[in-house]
Amino acid sequence: MRASLAFRLILLVGAPAVTLFLLVVILSSIRSREHVMAETEVSSLNLARYHAQRLETVLDRASVVAEMIATEMEISPKRNEEILNRYLGGVVASKDFIYGSCIAFEPFTFDPGKELVAPYFYWKDGRPEFVQLGNPEYNYPRWDWYRLPKQADRPLWSEPYFDEGGGETIMITYSVPFRKDGAFGGIATIDIAMSELTSEVEEIRVGKRGYAFVISQQGRFLAFPEKSQIMKRSLQEFDMALAQRMTAGQEGFVHARGPLRMESVWTAFAPIRAGNLSLAIVYPADEIMAGAFRLQRELLLLGGVGLLALCGAIIVIVRSISRPISQLAQAAQRVAGGDLDLEISHQTRTAEVRHLTDAFRKMTSDLKRRIEELRSATAARERIEGELQAARKIQMSILPRDIPVEAERREIRMHAHIQPAREVGGDFYDAHAVDEDSLAFWIGDVSGKGVPAALYMAVTTTLVKSHTAGHRSPAAVLSTVNRELCANRTTGMFVTLFYGLLNCRTGALVYCNAGHYAPFVVSRDGARRRLAGRGGMALGANVNARYNNHEVPLQPGEMVFCFTDGVTEALDARRAFYDEARLEEVLGKCAALDPAEVTRCVLDDLRAFTGSVEQADDITVLALRYCGTKANAAGNSPEADSERTAEIAPG
């Protein structure tokens, strides 16, 4: 299972695809969340800035009045208190957006005779009301709103405070110092009631549970959704870091602890420079995140679905490709197991798989054909071998095992043996009674071995046999046979032949030797001689060859021994020839024996000589003893009488 094509492909293709896909989905979901957050940051910061700006505008407008008053004091001092009061009253009356205004002179600067001068006008019941703050009980020079700007020598906003008049109004004062004759002259102030401003802020709603608040330069809540906290609690109690940044006049968008519900929030804050205030818009974190996380979740979900679809697609595609391959693999295994008739029929669109299938089909059918060819070739070879065996039987049957019946004679004893080198050979012999008195016999050797030699041998021996009766002269027989062999023959085959005609009454032997080894004549006592005389050329070589006879008388008891070169040219393990000398010696030893035993004797000695060396050429031996008739039997050994019985020596 692990190693299957489908599994591996799915793994190898699927793993990187899935990984990449997941990577992309996760990254893009993170990026989208960050994007939502960034968008939220921008928009909430803008909102904070907007509201801060609105407050700032109002406070600015009021602070300008104080600046104006201070400037007026510097460039157009009032001569007396009545003019001064009228002026201030006019200013306050014309500006209904300020709560009150006071001009406090540095002691003894307005009127050298008067220490404290500080007219104060404020709106009450819809009319400006006058109060003289320059009285010893109040003693304005010791108050912060006078003292601090005098020290700093620049306009200052006060920390918001509750109106002493008993209202719950939050006030803030802007104090502007002015100079007289090059020295500090006094402070012009503007009091602003902040209730309208703060109520505007308190109405800000963002999202479901978002809100806004304003803090003073010390961090106390000036506007807050929970009114009980106003002026009593400060931001430092809830989130020190945020309070520090806001009171420092910074703007930003940070994660903080919400002062309203002590929860995790995101806050956009912007400074209100006028008044040294700061405004913050608060978003519960989960609300902000909700949007971002929802988007991210959707993306992940989409990604998950897409991933499943991707996996499914990969599996389906891989399967569709690998199924034909695995089917082919199974089929291949079955064919390898021996089922050559298996049909591979499934279709596929993949070119390579189709090629593979086609090639496989072709190989299978080729294999089947080869096996068939091999089978029939083997059958053919077995047939040929069978036929060669049959041919050997036939050939052996051509050669007489026994003396042919018609040649059976009292006067002679004959034995021959042939041992072909292969199944069929080229050596041959025969004997044939020509007439009452005469026996024709011959031994021959076709050049070569095997089937060609065997065929040539069959032809030759048949030719010789056919002409035996017609001619009394061996030379004439051979001459005729030679001419017939040479006709229409362009092969290099030739045959050596020794042909003898024995007169069984007289013992006269007429012979013609056509290129064959001269036979031995062995007498009983072991004396040996050769039948000399060349009769002519080997048969089948030259159509014009001439042949002649030789004659020799045989004494009773003498034995003619014929052989082919398979005897004399047999090799032993040391590659030495058996040779005629050794043959002669063996013949001398068994000279007195029966022809059957003589041949056996020679063959045994030959086998002893060659040992295990493979036989190279056909081996043929023929022994013919002339026993003589009763008439000339004198000189025969006693065995001659027992030989008179017409015993035929089996071959």
Partner 1 sequence: MQIREENHGDTLVTIVEGHLDSATAGEFETHLLGRIEEGRRAFVVDCADLDYINSAGLKAFLIAGKKLEPIGGRIVLCALATNVQMVFELTGFDNLFTIKASRAEALASFS
Q: Work out which of 56, 106, 239, 445 binds partner 1, going by CB under 8 A.
A: 445
Indicate the SS3 state at residue 134.
coil
Q: Work out which of 100, 275, 536, 557 binds partner 1, going by CB under 8 A.
A: 536
CB of 502 to partner 1, least distance (A): 23
Both tokens of residue 378?
């083997």
Smaller CB distance to partner 1: residue 216 or 460? 460
Smaller CB distance to partner 1: residue 200 or 565? 565
For residue 513, which phi and psi values (nearest 5 degrees)? -110, 110
Please give the Cα distance from 364 to 183 (Å, whole number). Answer: 121
Please give the Cα distance from 628 to 506 (Å, whole number). Answer: 8
Please give the Cα distance from 536 to 346 (Å, whole number). Answer: 80
Q: Work out which of 301, 359, 542, 604 binds partner 1, going by CB under 8 A.
A: 542
Smaller CB distance to partner 1: residue 15 or 616? 616
Count CA atoms closer than 13 A to 498's CA, side-chain side: 25
Nearest Cα to Cα of residue 249 among 215, 214, 273: 273
Hey, which residues between 611 and 640 contact partner 1 (CB under 8 A)?
Answer: 616-617
Both tokens of residue 242?
């945020």
305-306-307 Cα angle (round to 5): 90
Stretch that binds partner 1, among 207-215, 400-408, 490-498, 549-557 (CB under 8 A): 490-498
Both tokens of residue 213?
């608040």
CB of 429 to partner 1, least distance (A): 17
Strands of the sheet with 412-419, listed across from one edge: 412-419, 619-626, 559-563, 520-522, 528-530
Is there binding between residue 537 and partner 1 (CB under 8 A)?
yes
Question: If binding means CB under 8 A, how many residues of this protein chain bind partner 1?
Answer: 25
CB of 490 to partner 1, least distance (A): 6
Q: Work out which of 63, 278, 395, 447 binds partner 1, going by CB under 8 A.
A: 447
Smaller CB distance to partner 1: residue 537 or 590? 537
Q: Work out which of 531, 541, 554, 590 binds partner 1, going by CB under 8 A.
A: 541
Q: Which residues contact 223 (CB under 8 A, 6 or more apart)?
A: 194, 197, 198, 199, 201, 202, 212, 213, 214, 230
CB of 381 to partner 1, least distance (A): 23
Nearest Cα to Cα of residue 511 among 482, 538, 536, 528: 536
Smaller CB distance to partner 1: residue 268 or 457? 457
In Å, what is the CA distance from 642 to each residue of 80, 428, 589, 607, 637?
A: 202, 30, 22, 31, 10
Q: Work out which of 70, 170, 188, 514 binds partner 1, going by CB under 8 A.
A: 514
Smaller CB distance to partner 1: residue 365 or 491? 491
Please give the Cα distance from 248 to 255 (Å, whole number). Answer: 17
Is there binding between residue 449 and partner 1 (CB under 8 A)?
yes
CB of 425 to partner 1, least distance (A): 12
Is there binding between residue 534 and partner 1 (CB under 8 A)?
yes
Any idea how long the chain is? 651
Is there binding between residue 347 and partner 1 (CB under 8 A)?
no
Both tokens of residue 632?
């000339």
Is there binding between residue 491 and partner 1 (CB under 8 A)?
yes
Smaller CB distance to partner 1: residue 140 or 494? 494
Is there binding between residue 595 and partner 1 (CB under 8 A)?
no
Please give the Cα distance from 288 to 472 (Å, whole number). Answer: 141
Stretch that binds partner 1, among 64-72, 288-296, 398-406, 534-542 (CB under 8 A): 534-542
Stretch that binds partner 1, among 330-338, 447-455, 502-510, 525-533 (CB under 8 A): 447-455
Smaller CB distance to partner 1: residue 141 or 515? 515
CB of 332 to partner 1, least distance (A): 47
**210: β partners:** 206
Count of CB atoms situated within 10 Å of the CB of 76? 8
Is there binding between residue 431 and partner 1 (CB under 8 A)?
no
Which residues are at the interface with partner 1 (CB under 8 A)?
Answer: 445, 447-449, 490-494, 496, 514-517, 534, 536-538, 541-542, 545, 565, 569, 616-617
